[in-house]
Amino acid sequence: MCKINFDFLISHAKVYGFIFPSSEIYGGLNAVYDYGPHGVELKNNIKKFWWKSMTQLHENIIGLDSSIIMHSDVWHASGHVDKFNELLIDNKDSKKRYRPEILIQEYVEKNFLNNPKKKEEILSRLFQSLQNQNLGELKILIDELCICDPIFKTKNWTEIRHFNMMYKIKNEKDLYLRPETAQGIFSNFHNILKSTRIKIPFGIAQIGKSFRNEIFARKFIFRMREFEQMEMQYFILPEEEIKWYEYWRKNRLKWHLELNLENKQSYKLCDHDHLAHYENVGSDIEFHFPFGFKEIEGIHSRRDFDLKNHEFFSKKKLRIFESKRNYIPYVIETSLGLDRLFLAIFSSSLKKEKLKNGKIRVVLKFPYYLSPIQAAIFPLVRKDGLPEIAKKIFYDLKIHHRLVYDEKESIGKLYRRQDAIGTPFCFTVDYDTIKTDTVTMRNRDSMKQKRIYIKEISNIIEQETGLKKIFKKLSYFI
């Protein structure tokens, strides 16, 4: 196995139609990307997998698709107008903006690798300053450590200030693009309760776009300004907060582990030491991306923070009425970034393998059920009636499965191309097919081939690449 570097990954994603830089013909746009023909299939499969695991496997989790633009009071009630801020520092020479805490963290990681005591001392000062929102002390740290602009190498910094991360819609007083999907769930709480008569504990799941004016947008699709979230808000009795928080932390980690990306050591569950404005306790599931361990999903106890504030601002009752009690439920949130999960799956599946003949093959070893294409159908050669047989198999089966038919190159090249986009199986029609009604079936990972009957193809694709197998496993712990 050969090592993959990040630039190779980005280039593979582009060349094979997974991810393109947005507006590339006009020079691109920082931290915005488009999903190409194979990317959109993979992304849709990930969404379907998450959606079904949440709504179909749990009896008491239902779905919602709320709008991106909401009444401005939503964002006042949720605290985003006042508190959804990042810290910002500008370098006057490079005119670049940075997050001061990240500048300090990266400096410490780089320069105090062999001096853990000093590293701990600085990180603890950083943590204290963030806790107390002491921006002056943060600036002193940057000056003391003589931290330079990473590009211009100068120390000509502005003061540190707060910066709200919501995108405001121009010419629309007080309207924003949503920075999280969750508020659509809270503002529909009453409608959902009334229209479904669902009982506590229950969850509402949603997949949708969110927008954040990220100052430090880097690392490909890991941190973008327009991204997608897969969120679930679980409404519970207030006294059961810790029980459900613990349940969802463990449940979500197990879900990730069942994806079987790399190995168990690729995940970490980390408690938040810096809480967001809405949360009481929280933790992150971190994944080992090509640039290190980083958050992929957050699990937060939002208590009654959101519903209570929406009650106050909207003057509507957002509570549960039971025989002897009326209360605002607590909420445990699971919030997963679709694009980050895409990157985790893509980066851990992309392999360069050295073959026995010394050549290198590039293969995307996606979990079968997520692959953009489930199987490819080829004729061995473009003559003697083989393409006609292969096309008939393709047309008969394409209504059931995501398939491609290809005959443009030699069989070896056709296999390599399917490896490079992660297709688990290739079925090839050859001269024996005419006599025996059989084809060769080639497996992406082992590259082994065997003969099977044409009539078996559909079943094999369904069993091997459908969601049934993985759902059976998941249903044990859900």
The residues that touch ligand ATP, with contacts defined as CB under 6 A, are 212, 214, 223-224, 227, 229, 295-298, 335-337, 339-340
> C-alpha angle 29/30/36, rounded to 5°?
60
- Rounded distance between C-alpha atoms, residue 66 and residue 207, angstroms: 9
- Rounded distance between C-alpha atoms, residue 260 and residue 21, angstroms: 29
Q: How far is the CB of 337 from ligand ATP (least distance, A)?
A: 2
> H helices then E strands: how many in the chain?
17, 23
Provide the token pair at 202.
Answer: 């229950």
Q: How far is the CB of 295 from ligand ATP (least distance, A)?
A: 5
> C-alpha angle 130/75/69, rounded to 5°?
130
Residue number with the shortest CB distance to ligand ATP? 337
Nearer to ligand ATP, 179 or 201 (CB): 179
- Other C-beta atoms lying within 10 Å of the C-beta of residue 367: 20
Q: How far is the CB of 215 from ligand ATP (least distance, A)?
A: 10
Nearer to ligand ATP, 39 or 298 (CB): 298
Nearer to ligand ATP, 140 or 270 (CB): 270
Provide the token pair at 261.
Answer: 């990306």
DSSP annotation string for 234-281? EEE-GGGHHHHHHHHHHHHHHHHHHT--S-GGGEEEEE-SS--TT-SE
Nearer to ligand ATP, 33 or 107 (CB): 33
Q: How far is the CB of 316 from ligand ATP (least distance, A)?
A: 26
Q: Which amino acid is at 134?
A: N
Q: How far is the CB of 224 from ligand ATP (least distance, A)?
A: 4
Provide the token pair at 168.
Answer: 């405001």
Q: How far is the CB of 210 from ligand ATP (least distance, A)?
A: 7
Nearer to ligand ATP, 138 or 373 (CB): 138
> C-alpha angle 141/145/150, rounded to 5°?
105
Residue among 347, 344, 414 at smallest CA distance from 378:
414
Q: To the nearest 10°, report the CA torsion of 237, 238, 242, 248.
A: 50
Nearer to ligand ATP, 38 or 256 (CB): 256
Provide the token pair at 466.
Answer: 């459908």
Query: With contact defined as beta carbons under 8 Å apart, do 423 and 373 qualify?
Result: yes
Q: How far is the CB of 223 from ligand ATP (least distance, A)?
A: 4
Query: With contact defined as beta carbons under 8 Å apart, do 226 and 180 qualify?
Result: no
460 Cβ neighbours under 8 A, 6+ residues apart = 425, 441, 452
Q: How far is the CB of 259 from ligand ATP (least distance, A)?
A: 15
Provide the token pair at 283.
Answer: 């933790």
Q: How do 202-211 and 61-64 pair as beta strands? A: parallel
Q: How far is the CB of 261 from ligand ATP (least distance, A)?
A: 15
Q: What three-state secondary structure class fits 428?
A: strand
Nearer to ligand ATP, 298 or 372 (CB): 298
Q: How far is the CB of 407 from ligand ATP (least distance, A)?
A: 39
